[in-house]
Structure 1
């Protein structure tokens, strides 16, 4: 675990692989096999067919540890990851010592014994496997020495107990998720900072909108306030969509007139680049109708349908949007003349699937399904053929 890293020379204080038990620990046992015991143990397992096959066939970064958390075997992938040519230099060391964790040299007992080790995911996973005889997976943030510099790593470590010829061992599987963690942190930081900016904008626009009622500037400020509130809600929704965890999202269901909804939709798509040179026909129900749903979420579903239709439409083409009222539901429909190829239609609602072949795409139709069905309680689907074009529909219970 990383915090207050020490100078790389402190690693020289880590005990040699074959030393007896040093005194003092803040977490795991400091005991090690002495040199003779370690060599005997290595001789017993070095040609073991089970371990040999395991290390050759299991993908990823794998190490075999003894009951004192000392390395007995390591696969080629982990050896390459550590940048070490021969496993002989690692045998008898502990995982943190092999990784060159700065805290591995803070105590005479080495890796697992410093005051930082009780919060180290790798150390905790090994302790659970040893003392509770069950597999454990933990995340481990560690700064490791690479040359004379510290490099931050974020590892997923899984420790699994293994009894072999009456001897207790630990299989350790390591996955470097540093890049995923960095992306997740950047994403959270972006949402956090943007939310702070929007909060300030929200307060400022509220003040402007109420300062001079009837004044044109106040009217413009009211529009800014309206749009800002929508962006704030969209931001929260997008955070949920990216993680695909919607259980904690509580839709604010309110009565929304269809006329108001269609006007919002018209404003949304009229300035979008996809609408240039194309016609949008909106057919509204003759009778005034109100739906009970969160307008931001409903607009997100219909907006995605409309923009997808516009993107699929050729210049001078047309899309048609309408709503049909039935005794039990309002059925929204968005039509365009372009059919969807069968191979794409089969995966149209799959998350991360996109016809554009670009990383980060593939949320539009997935978002329709997720919001429309899980959050709004409706039904999202489509029909497509060469004769009739493509129609996406959203049926929302009344």
Structure 2
């Protein structure tokens, strides 16, 4: 049933099919239109009434059409089978449901500002058999000035896989952290009940569960940071206390077995305004990387110093990296430890520079070995 005009959220006026066909002919003869078919993403060209005057082959292919004819003069929702596209009095964009449509928001913003706009859009669409399917899209709209007037180029990117993966990741992290955290807490409770001859094994189990929970939290935090979803909470922190805490915790970490972790005797306390969780994660990553690069019996050293108005957190180990390794240290997927590794140093740089306003660097030479450092503004 059509809704009343007061429910319109976008103008309902349309160009006649004759006028749209004339627009289509002009766009089709424009030089730019020759390149639209090379574009891999579905692309639509809209006129000032939000009607389709041109589409590239990528769009007609996903729509199952041989050419633009079935979609000419329609609006995007109508062409894509949106279940709400025929609810409003004047079609797509004119019902109360359209008020939350990301595609419509992107179009209207671009029309108003004459600038590029981008929004996510969740659509419920009917396929050719009448079945309903959900689509998650990222919609980009950009004004296109031509001698015949302004048009709006709309491109669509399917982000359904990305959204499903994010949902599965949230469920995974929630469930596995609950399970691993519960197991760790259970071992803590049982520690006093373990016979003396099994105490060493119990400590190993506790250390392994501690490492497991820490690794899960690290991956969860990194994913949030990469998506710009991490909300920092900066408070005043005493830098030396955090370094001491991390050093103390990781002396029993599985990667520290047979190795020594020292706190540099010359370390001084420097207060910083920072996010506790991120700063701790950075120090943990530097420490684990150093432990992995250290041979049995070797020493890993952590410290903190003040350099003018900066607090410099650092971790060193005796090994020296080859030149080819030094040139690729902070790349996302580069690792000397095999495939599916390489996130440690990358995450140090990402978290420190993108979220904490810090600087990251390293040196690797004889006889000092390798030292990674993070410099943050001091209070």
Matching residue of 1:393: 372
Residues 249, 44 of structure 1: CA spacing in aligned structure 2 closer, same or farther, 3 A cutoff? Answer: same
**How far apart, CA to CA, are the structure 1 residues paired with 2:276 and 2:113?**
51
Matching residue of 1:280: 259
Residues 289, 37 of structure 1: CA spacing in aligned structure 2 closer, same or farther, 3 A cutoff? Answer: closer
- TM-score normalized by structure 1? 0.69
Unaligned runs of 5+ in 2: 195-201
Does structure 1 retain, via aligned residues, the 8 Å contact 2:222–2:347? no
**The one of 319, 326, 338 aligned to 1:337:** 319
Matching residue of 2:198: none
**The one of 130, 138, 158 aligned to 1:176:** 158
Matching residue of 2:17: 35
- TM-score normalized by structure 2? 0.72
**How far apart, CA to CA, are the structure 1 residues paired with 2:261 and 2:357?**
24
**How far apart, CA to CA, are the structure 1 residues paired with 2:143 and 2:354?**
40
Cα distance, 1:180 vs. partner? 2.2
Does structure 1 retain, via aligned residues, the 8 Å contact 2:41–2:155? yes
Matching residue of 2:46: 65
Residues 373, 281 of structure 1: CA spacing in aligned structure 2 closer, same or farther, 3 A cutoff? Answer: farther
Does structure 1 retain, via aligned residues, the 8 Å contact 2:39–2:58? no
**The one of 69, 77, 86 aligned to 2:67:** 86
What is the DSSP-based 3-state SS (H/G/I as helix, E as strand, rest coil) of the residue aligned with 2:241? strand
Cα distance, 1:175 vs. partner? 1.9
| Equivalences for residues 89-108 of structure 1 within 5 A | 89-108=70-89
Q: Tell me, yes or no, if structure 1 residue 368 matches structure 2 residue 348.
A: yes
Q: Tell me, yes or no, if structure 1 residue 124 matches structure 2 residue 108.
A: no
**How far apart, CA to CA, are the structure 2 residues paired with 1:81 and 1:196?**
42
**How far apart, CA to CA, are the structure 1 residues paired with 2:249 and 2:70?**
67
Matching residue of 1:161: 143
Matching residue of 1:249: 233
Q: Tell me, yes or no, if structure 1 residue 55 matches structure 2 residue 36.
A: yes
| Structural RMSD (CA) | 4.6
Q: How many residues align?
A: 357
Unaligned runs of 5+ in 1: 1-9, 14-21, 210-214
Cα distance, 1:57 vs. partner? 5.2
Residues 394, 78 of structure 1: CA spacing in aligned structure 2 closer, same or farther, 3 A cutoff? Answer: same
Matching residue of 1:216: 192
